[in-house]
């Protein structure tokens, strides 16, 4: 195989009760990437469409991730990467994770799969780290593994693929305001009260139990974030009214996607997802804000190969 064309999906991290540990993979929203072997060694970003991103491999998350993999697995040729960006940078649905995960997925395929998807997470994280200032696996993991994932530990890195009920659907609303991950992190406190931490891990534990038992009502009661949402939601216009309208339209839960500004709702089934999407549109329209809205079942596959040769 000399060349591979892939679909690198968007993803939602944190998922209310799972700050820094939970993430799930989306379906119709994502970038396309072509990764191609080159005779010369090293990594080159040869094309970027749809977004103004650096071509310098040491500054581009796809480049950083690719170099991390090749550093661990040297080879006598190189790779060039074309990126057709559809996920907007800074939207909070894992734009950098898609690029980082896509790059290592593509190179791994062209190298004959020396690494498992689990092993690729560490390389993709290095790209993520370049984007956000700290290493995170909660977006790259669901992109590489598919479904819903839990980062048990960063040092050592361990990610678990959780059970993911087939009826789960997501609605993503991206209000087009700029909100950098690094700023959204700055608003967080370094300490949390023990009382709230206990509430959070009670909810996270219950949410995970509910995924395995397919208890949608329990999922709904568990999708609470008492730690991060109260602070970060202040940065997102109309957050409270959007949340109210999503829940009234039947969403199981509603929260901030990653570090925002995108927000997500989870629903049981695609019909409720449609109603929730309509309700969110109605609620945000009067504000005059530009926005994108997407509906998606949970993507259980993760990155998809579109073609190869």
Q: How far apart, in whole angstroms, are the C-alpha atoms of residue 194 and residue 205? A: 16
User: Token digits for 282?
Assistant: 């109605």
Task: Give min distance, CB of 22 to a copy of itself, in A.
Answer: 8
Q: Is 186 a catalytic residue?
A: no
Helix orientation angle between 117-132 and 61-72, rounded to the nearest 10 degrees: 140
Q: Are 259 and 184 in contact (CB under 8 A)?
A: yes
CB atoms within 10 A of CB 133: 13
Residues 135 to 154 in contact with a copy of itself, rule: CB under 8 A: 150-153
Of 106, 90, 93, the closest CA to residue 32 belongs to 106
Q: Are 250 and 267 in contact (CB under 8 A)?
A: yes
φ and ψ of 175, to 5 deg: -75, 130
Task: Give min distance, CB of 216 to a copy of itself, in A.
Answer: 14
User: What are the distances in angstroms from CA 117 to CA 67, 104, 137, 176?
Assistant: 17, 9, 13, 32
Q: Kindly tell me which residue out of 4, 13, 22, 57 binds a copy of itself, with binding defined by CB under 8 A.
A: 22
Nearer to a copy of itself, 116 or 193 (CB): 193
Nearer to a copy of itself, 119 or 215 (CB): 215
Task: Give min distance, CB of 51 to a copy of itself, in A.
Answer: 30
Q: Kindly tell me which residue out of 68, 144, 172, 227 binds a copy of itself, with binding defined by CB under 8 A.
A: 227
Q: Is 267 a catalytic residue?
A: no
Q: How far apart, in whole angstroms, are the C-alpha atoms of residue 105 and residue 6? A: 9
SS3 of 198, please?
Answer: helix
If one asks whether residue 164 binds a copy of itself (CB under 8 A), the answer comes out as no
If one asks whether residue 231 binds a copy of itself (CB under 8 A), the answer comes out as no
Catalytic residue among 181, 238, 267, 283: 181
Catalytic residue among 80, 128, 229, 238: 128
Task: Give min distance, CB of 44 to a copy of itself, in A.
Answer: 37
Nearer to a copy of itself, 3 or 20 (CB): 20
Q: What is the contact mask toward a copy of itself in residues 192 to 221, using x (rule: CB under 8 A)?
A: xxxx-xxxxxxxxxx-xx--xx----x--x
Task: Give min distance, CB of 18 to a copy of itself, in A.
Answer: 7
The DSSP secondary-structure symbol of 88 reads P
What is the sign, positive or negative, of the torsion defined by CA atoms of 184, 247, 216, 209?
positive
Q: Are 266 and 252 in contact (CB under 8 A)?
A: yes
If one asks whether residue 163 binds a copy of itself (CB under 8 A), the answer comes out as yes
If one asks whether residue 160 binds a copy of itself (CB under 8 A), the answer comes out as yes
Q: Is 274 left (phi over 0), alpha (psi -120 to 50) or beta?
A: alpha
Nearer to a copy of itself, 223 or 242 (CB): 223
Task: Give min distance, CB of 81 to a copy of itself, in A.
Answer: 32
> Among all residues, which ones are annotated catalytic?
128, 181
**Residue numbers at the binding site for a copy of itself (CB under 8 A):** 18-22, 150-153, 158, 160, 162-163, 188-195, 197-206, 208-209, 212-213, 218, 221-222, 227
């Amino acid at each position: 195989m000399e060349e591979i064309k892939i679909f690198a999906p968007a993803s939602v991290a944190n998922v209310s009760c799972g700050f820094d540990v939970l993430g799930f993979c989306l379906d119709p929203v994502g970038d396309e990437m072509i990764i191609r072997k080159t005779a010369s060694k090293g990594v080159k970003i040869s094309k970027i469409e749809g977004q103004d991103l650096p071509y310098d491999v040491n500054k581009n998350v796809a480049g950083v991730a690719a170099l991390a993999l090749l550093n661990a697995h040297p080879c006598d040729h190189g790779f060039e990467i074309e990126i057709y960006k559809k996920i907007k940078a800074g939207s909070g649905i894992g734009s950098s994770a898609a690029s980082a995960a896509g790059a290592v997925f593509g190179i791994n395929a062209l190298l004959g799969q020396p690494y498992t998807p689990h092993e690729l997470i560490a390389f993709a994280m290095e790209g993520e780290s370049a984007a956000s200032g700290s290493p995170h696996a909660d977006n790259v993991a669901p992109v590489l593994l598919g479904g819903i994932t839990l980062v048990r530990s960063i040092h050592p890195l361990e990610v678990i693929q959780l059970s993911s009920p087939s009826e789960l659907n997501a609605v993503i609303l991206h209000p087009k305001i700029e909100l950098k991950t690094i700023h959204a992190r700055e608003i967080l406190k370094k300490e949390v009260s023990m009382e709230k931490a206990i509430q959070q891990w009670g909810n996270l534990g219950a949410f995970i139990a509910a995924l395995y038992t397919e208890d949608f009502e329990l999922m709904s009661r568990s999708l609470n974030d008492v730690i991060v949402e109260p602070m970060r939601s202040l940065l997102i216009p109309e957050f409270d009214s959007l949340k109210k309208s999503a829940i009234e339209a039947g969403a199981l839960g509603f929260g901030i996607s990653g570090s925002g500004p995108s927000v997500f709702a989870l629903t049981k089934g695609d019909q409720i997802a449609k109603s929730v999407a309509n309700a969110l549109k109605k609620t945000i329209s009067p504000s005059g804000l530009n926005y994108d809205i997407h509906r998606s079942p949970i993507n259980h596959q993760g990155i998809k190969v579109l073609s190869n040769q």
